[in-house]
Structure 1
Amino acid sequence: VHNVNFFQFSDGNGSVLPISSVTRTTTNFTSYTISLVNPLYEDGQYTMRIFNAKDHEGNVATSTINLSFLFAKPTMATYKQIVISELMPDPVPAVTLPEKEYIEIFNTSNKSFDLKDYVLSDPSIAVKLPSYVLSPNEYLILCKISDTADFKPYGKILALPNMPSLNNSSDVVTLNNANGELVDKVAYFLSWYKNAQMDDGGYALELIDPQNKCLVEENWTASTSATGGTPGALNAVKAILQDLVAPKIVSLNVLSPTKLQFIFSEKVDSSSLVKTNFSFSPTAQIKSVVWKVDSLNMAWLELMDSLPRNVEMVLNIAKLKDCAGNLNENLSTAFALPEKIEVGDVLINEVLFNPLPYGADFVELANITSKYIDLKGCMFANLKNDSIGNKKVLFSNSFILKPNQYLALTTDKNNILNIYAKAQFGGIEQVASLPTYYDDMGNVIFLDPNGNVLDRFDYNQSMHSPLVARKEGVSLEKINLTLATNDPNNWTSASKESGYATPGYANSQYLALGISDEDIYIEPQLITPNGDGNQDFMVVGIRSDKIGTLRNIIIYDVMGREVKKLLKNSYLGTNTWVQWDGTDESNNHLPVGHYILWMEAVDTSGNVFHYKKKAVVGARF
């Protein structure tokens, strides 16, 4: 076979290339070196033919052997020239594929790459790849050597002695070239499956558009293949994804008085991230703009001087362009250097613990100060085995609550907006999780990042107004923000007119109490208890300079008949209050008319004092 006449080389046009020599390179006649007169062209397609090939025993091949190949000098892959195109984090239970993890990569370019010394890694392990020339548009399965036989029927394999173990819920898989430069990085989450059945095992995550370098989560979904995945082959979900939407600012985090972090709605073009595109009002001087190639949906601004504390600033960004070239000419967002949260700054103001069927709970907070307060790291919790447990962090990044702002927190923002027509979009934030709130009774505990209690509310369905027949979907609202959160008298049902909840804005049953130096006062004196949120109840305020006073409050009609005991042998604080909603002892509505509130107070010395106040139960026509 080492005779040159047995061989023929031709290029893609069919032209024959002259051979200068054929040399045997092994003693057992299995390997030969062929030298050509002229060099091959890089990225050229060639065909080699072997005529009348004969083995050592004299057996002659019955037909011409044809071998086609691409001649390419391997180069170093740059960012996204090779992409991670498929992942099988949870292969159990299998659909029909092997119950083994695998990673698929795909060459998106028209070049060939030798994978020698490329590094595949996750946060726990880094694995060097052996030599393998990955051709243009080629898929390659990466798996353990022990799993080679399982995946051989599906496509080309690069077997590794060790592999990153893919976590089921989330992980970060990175591919770097031999120079240590990033080629691709996928930080996936279980939610990327977008299918509750498929995320339970047996289905791969597939890249939809390998050529789209801009989209992240939107470019991944569960495999629709009947086998559960397509290792080594065209992805079942492959499609061309177009991005026609300009980038926006999702959040702005104040990391320090001189450093800000931006999170954009998508990857942006790094050429947009220059100092001249950023400005502040009031003015602040920018030192530098920092970004990373693997996280271009984020950027950091470093300032020359510290921001003033508790002053609202406006950041303007001009000519922000996304990875696909969509341009947003002008963006602006307001922020402030916040203050740390302290007890009494932010209070629990409204709770929906018994939602409609298929509805979601929410807890509303209210900032009662003039300060900008960062809720980063703050938690909701409740009691578990008589101690604080079930802690749920609300925001892992900076989230600034403005002065006098209401903020409802829920696990399903769209659900709340759909059910409550008056809900304020900007006053509702979706969080990853909330503690469990039982429908009949429970508690809401608000903690600072160190676990210190900021506020607490022990709720009970009996705190609802008797005017509300069905409690599902009705929130409990705080009557007065400045009074104690855990006082049952400071809560009542949201009004019917508000839609039975007021997430993200002022409560329908809010009552601003005046200051009185009387021992007993009523506000308002006339009530119309019909559930419209306007004078549905009255507050009976009680003031005393003496601690330990025993009190009784009885309500009489104009005929002198007792209709309700509002307080019975109760020891209250020096300044407190109770509410009356116009009902009798059996929580039935009393007729329209005049009533007398009679209070008896017995101090610790045995002195007895009596007080009377007039009250009116009215009706609206």
Structure 2
Amino acid sequence: MKKIILLPLLPLYLSVTAQTGNDAFPFPATGDIVITEIMADPTPSRGLPEREYLEIFNRSSDTLGLKGIMLIADKDTAYLSDGLIAPGEWIILCSTGSRTYLLPFGRVMAVKSFPTLNDAGELISLRTPDGSLIHSVSYSPEFLGDGPRSGGGWSAELTDTDNPFHEPDAWSPSTDPSGGTPGRVNSTVTSVADTRCPSVIAAWPLSEEVVAVLFDETVIPAESGPWLADGVETMPALSGDPADRTLLVTLAGKMDPGIVLTLQFPPGLTDFAGNQPCTGDIRTGLPSDPAPGEIMFNELMPEPSPGCSEYLELFNNSDKIFDLSALLLAGSSRGAATAFTALHRQLLPGAFVALTTGREDFASIYPCGDDKSVFRADRLPALPDGGGTLLLYDRSLNVIDRVSYTPDMHMIFLSGTKGVALEKVSPGLPSDVASSWHSASGVCGFGTPGAPNSVLAGDTGETGGLSLSSGRISPDGDGFEDVISVGVFPGGEGNVITVTIFNDRGYPVRRLAERVTADAGARFVWDGVSDSGARLPAGLYMIVAESFNTAGLSRRWKKVCALLYR
């Protein structure tokens, strides 16, 4: 039997079915219903009741069913009651105890066990009873800015319902004098185009056969097609979290330990706005535990420019794969060692990762850096301007690397060290040797977070005797031949090495190494200054290396190097 509804009675019909339910109306697809307002901190009141609420809006052209839709906030899940939402309609969601207070502002749906909204930020999602994503918001105080509306009593509003997943750009604090606009059009409505590509934050194995890939925004996995793992098709990706930001990819076979796997994204994988991921693939593998020296400090920014953040950089000095969540950092040998992230971000062989707690756009500040290798950590030890110590531990508190730094490690002719990073002149050099470090080049904005350093000494190799990375040095801060690497490999074992630099009159001006125990050999770095830290004049300098070992063999070599200034 067909239902006949007179148009004048349609509002009454919708009201009744909102209470009784109607299976003839479909559940929303992704983006049909969106969260348009969040009141997480209603105190002090600006005119609205001091009650937390969410507002949802039907941006589709269909009347949609609500019964059983999951409202997920962090670890809490509640379910919407039986009802319908008409096209273009707003509904205020709140706790049962808040319903009476919010009824004057529009249609209200009281939700049993309505989750307490965390004003410090949390992930809020709507999903259908069968688990499909409707909408998700990673709410944070950033939505309210740091101005006069950041102190409570103001809601965050979605300003562009056509781009509901574009956060935080499409969100702003309410400008309504009452502090919010529950149940009606938001105080700010504007177009905020979403052209940002989804970026991979981390990829890691959940098992030998399943890989998790975490994006920085919601992506649409349905019907995107199979992924390719080293050219072999995988099973279709499944959602791994309430916001569809983590995708789970099941491989055709098991991963081999120590082997880096390349996962290629399907062409149909996009965000809600249709943007494809920033890169076409990611690499991952089964992680190992690091041994001392296999992960090394490679760059430090203890004194950033105003408006910028401190950072430190790690280098994988091995052919293994490491999990950053298994590492700990401490700001001194007596300081507490704490994990800096719970995410399973991996550090691949020969790769760099810059760690920071800042949110600024590093790519616009450091043109030679690699923004894909900049990782936002939950916490980091402070880097005092006047010098300090950092230690890297594994989960068993074995020391993996250690560095002590001071401003004296910078180039002497710099007018100041603010905004200038300290870089290793070769990533594999010992971190606890001051001569391994040098000021970053101004050509690269005085820092290269996540990328090879701007000042690198050439590799001398391990040929027998004394070798130089170059026959000249020009320490002028342009990143080219600012330092030279001095390699001394006498042969045999148990060698003790001394390296001295003489000027053209035969006077010693710099002792690079004195009785250094180096086993088969070692590399040292000269930056063109004397033992007193003074800038040496241009000219020819003699580098003399001497060694003796436990077998009683003594040897001596010398080479000439030109010191130039442009």
- What TM-score do the two structures reach when normalised by structure 1? 0.70
Q: Which of 496, 517, 521 is matched with 1:573 structurally?
A: 517
* Alignment partner, residue 41 of structure 1: 4
From the superposition, tell whether residues 348 and 225 of structure 1 become closer, same or farther in structure 2 (CA, over 3 Å). same
Corresponding residue SS for 2:331: strand
Superposition pairs for residues 38-437 of structure 1, below 5 Å?
41-42=4-5, 44-46=7-9, 69-70=12-13, 73=17, 74-76=21-23, 78-79=27-28, 83-107=34-58, 122=73, 137-144=88-95, 147=98, 150-158=101-109, 163-173=114-124, 184=134, 186-190=136-140, 193=143, 195-197=145-147, 198-210=149-161, 219-239=170-190, 252-263=203-214, 267=218, 271-275=222-226, 278-282=227-231, 284-291=232-239, 295-309=243-257, 310-313=259-262, 315=264, 317-320=266-269, 323=272, 326=274, 332-343=280-291, 344-371=293-320, 373-379=321-327, 381-383=329-331, 386-389=334-337, 391-393=339-341, 396-401=343-348, 403-411=349-357, 415-431=361-377, 433-437=379-383
Q: Distance in 1 between matches of 2:64 and 2:504?
A: 96
Percent sequence identity is 23
Superposition pairs for residues 578-589 of structure 1, below 5 Å?
580-584=526-530, 586-589=532-535
- The structure whose residues are more often strand, as a share, is 1
User: What's the CA shift string for 1:472-520, capped at 9, x where partnerless?
Assistant: 22222223333322122322223455554344024413242454766x8
* Alignment partner, residue 618 of structure 1: 563
Q: Distance in 2 between matches of 1:498 and 1:242?
A: 31
Q: Distance in 1 between matches of 2:46 and 2:132?
A: 33
Q: Which of 428, 431, 439 is matched with 1:493 structurally?
A: 439
From the superposition, tell whether residues 441 and 110 of structure 1 become closer, same or farther in structure 2 (CA, over 3 Å). same
Q: Which of 495, 510, 515 is matched with 2:457 structurally?
A: 510
Corresponding residue SS for 2:340: strand
Q: Which of 394, 401, 419 is matched with 1:473 structurally?
A: 419
* Alignment partner, residue 34 of structure 1: none
Residue type matched to 1:573 in 2? T
Q: Distance in 1 between matches of 2:202 and 2:247?
A: 11
Q: Distance in 1 between matches of 2:493 and 2:197?
A: 66
User: What's the CA shift string for 1:237-285, capped at 9, x where partnerless?
Assistant: 345666678878776544333223345676555552344xx44544x25
Aligned length: 549
Corresponding residue SS for 1:256: coil
Relative contact order (C-alpha < 8 Å, sep 6+): which is higher? 2
Q: Distance in 1 between matches of 2:8 and 2:428?
A: 80
Q: Does structure 2 retain, via aligned residues, the 8 Å contact 1:478–1:510?
A: no
Residue type matched to 2:27 in 1? T
User: What's the CA shift string for 1:64-105, capped at 9, x where partnerless?
Assistant: xxxx84566442561366544322111233333333322334
From the superposition, tell whether residues 111 and 334 of structure 1 become closer, same or farther in structure 2 (CA, over 3 Å). closer
Corresponding residue SS for 2:211: strand
Structure with greater Cα Rg = 1
Q: Unaligned regions of 5+ residues in structure 2, if any?
A: none
Corresponding residue SS for 2:249: strand
- What TM-score do the two structures reach when normalised by structure 2? 0.76
Q: Distance in 2 between matches of 1:280 and 1:125?
A: 35
Post-superposition offset of 1:599? 9.2
Corresponding residue SS for 1:467: coil
**Aligned-pair Cα RMSD in Å:** 4.8
Q: Does structure 1 retain, via aligned residues, the 8 Å contact 2:464–2:491?
A: no
Corresponding residue SS for 2:435: helix
Q: Unaligned regions of 5+ residues in structure 1, if any?
A: 1-37, 48-67
User: What's the CA shift string for 1:144-182, capped at 9, x where partnerless?
Assistant: 5655564454334455786421111223445678x6777
Q: Distance in 2 between matches of 1:595 and 1:181?
A: 73
Q: Distance in 1 between matches of 2:507 and 2:279?
A: 68
Residue type matched to 1:491 in 2? W
Matched, 1:457 2:403: yes
User: What's the CA shift string for 1:378-400, capped at 9, x where partnerless?
Assistant: 5462325813335412x714435
Q: Does structure 1 retain, via aligned residues, the 8 Å contact 2:448–2:454?
A: yes
